[in-house]
Amino acid sequence: ATPTALLVGTGRGAQLGILIKGPEVLESTRKVDTIVLDKTGTVTTGKMTLVEVVTADGVDRTELLRLAGALENASEHPIAQAVARAAAQEVGALPTLEDFAAVEGKGAQGVVEDHAVLVGRESLLADWSQPLPTELVRRKASVEQTGRTVVAVGWDGQARGLLVVADQVRPTSRDAIAQFTALGLAPVLLTGDNRTVAEQIAAEVGIGQVIAEVLPADKVDVVRRLQAEGRVVAMVGDGVNDAAALAQADLGLAMGTGTDVAIAAADITLVRGDLRSAADAIRLSRRTLGTIR
């Protein structure tokens, strides 16, 4: 395409809410055959709310909310913020946190009122020999079937309960994914979240391939692996933990609602936070470069 056509193409993109970093981006956009989608904040809004508290036998709900809330108050994770917000609303001021460590892709740990507290994936509690009692295992599995994320809470050497958080699938996601498929792109859902939850969300929006329970640092390897299979990969993400994968992808697209780090790593920003803009970008590049099919 002529430089003028590319310039016109990027200008048209801006009108559609697609910010394109440079003329060469349209060329890579055209060749993409696989679109990897981060789940939280990309396919979903990422605005989590705490919808249910499940306590193990003999555990006091208020105590669970105070301890988990105090710990999560120190974490930036969207799940943590939902937990801390709801806990403060229900129990009032949260106790002071003595010590805090984020456990990447798994949760958080810290000390609250002399209790060693864990909140996060079941595997985080398992790392500290705090298996879930059978009734909680059963409850967790049935809630996950509904697409909701469940995190476990433990303190002083024992699992004590579950917190259920709900996220919302973006109303535009399903339509966007139908458009990707119509354009000949294979959609793949990529997430650190639990497999059951990921599969439920994927079914809801029409994504056939799911890669779940991936640690933040390993998302980039998933992109590399797909490229090694000969695929030309677009990746759409919003989080700090997506930045490396966005840079590695043949085409990186950041949600405009996402973090600055993701936006900086991407080739294209979807200003409106609408996944359908990614389909617009593909169509625009094919049209600009004269390869409509």
Binding to ligand ADP, residues 27-56 (CB under 6 A): 39-40
Q: Which does 238 bind (CB under 5 to 8 A by kind): ligand ADP, Mg ion, none?
A: Mg ion
Nearer to ligand ADP, 25 or 210 (CB): 210
Q: Which stretch binds Mg ion (CB under 5 A): 63-71, 210-218, 239-247, 248-256?
A: 239-247
Catalytic residue among 38, 167, 242, 250: 38
Residue of the chain from 65, 80, 125, 159 that contacts ligand ADP (CB under 6 A)? 80
The verdict on 130 binding ligand ADP (CB under 6 A) reads no
**Mask: binding to ligand ADP, 165-194, rule CB under 6 A, as x and -?**
--------------------------xxx-
Rounded to whole angstroms, how far apart are CA atoms 142 and 154?
20
Q: Which does 106 bind (CB under 5 to 8 A by kind): ligand ADP, Mg ion, none?
A: ligand ADP
In the complex, minimum distance from the CB of residue 291 to ligand ADP, in angstroms, rounded to a whole number: 33
Q: CA 49, 245, 276, 211 torsion: positive or negative? A: negative
- Sequence-distant (6+) residues with CB within 8 A of 247 are 220, 265
Q: Which stretch binds ligand ADP (CB under 6 A): 13-21, 28-36, 99-107, 132-140?
A: 99-107
Q: Which does 160 bind (CB under 5 to 8 A by kind): Mg ion, ligand ADP, none?
A: none
The verdict on 237 binding ligand ADP (CB under 6 A) reads no
- Sequence-distant (6+) residues with CB within 8 A of 57 are 133, 135
Binding to ligand ADP, residues 246-265 (CB under 6 A): none
Can you tell me which residue has the tokens 């993400």?
Answer: 237
**Cα 140 from chain centre:** 20
Can you tell me which residue has the tokens 């790392």?
Answer: 127
The verdict on 38 binding Mg ion (CB under 5 A) reads yes
Q: Which does 216 bind (CB under 5 to 8 A by kind): ligand ADP, Mg ion, none?
A: ligand ADP
Q: Which does 248 bind (CB under 5 to 8 A by kind): Mg ion, ligand ADP, none?
A: none
Rounded to whole angstroms, how far apart are CA atoms 33 and 219?
18
Nearer to ligand ADP, 19 or 262 (CB): 262
38 is catalytic: yes
| Total number of residues that touch ligand ADP (CB under 6 A) | 22
Q: Which stretch binds Mg ion (CB under 5 A): 34-42, 131-139, 161-169, 198-206?
A: 34-42
Binding residues for ligand ADP, per CB under 6 A?
A: 39-40, 72, 75, 77, 79-80, 105-108, 119-121, 149, 151, 191-193, 216, 239, 241
User: Which residues are part of the catalytic machinery?
Assistant: 38
Binding residues for Mg ion, per CB under 5 A?
A: 38, 40-41, 238-239
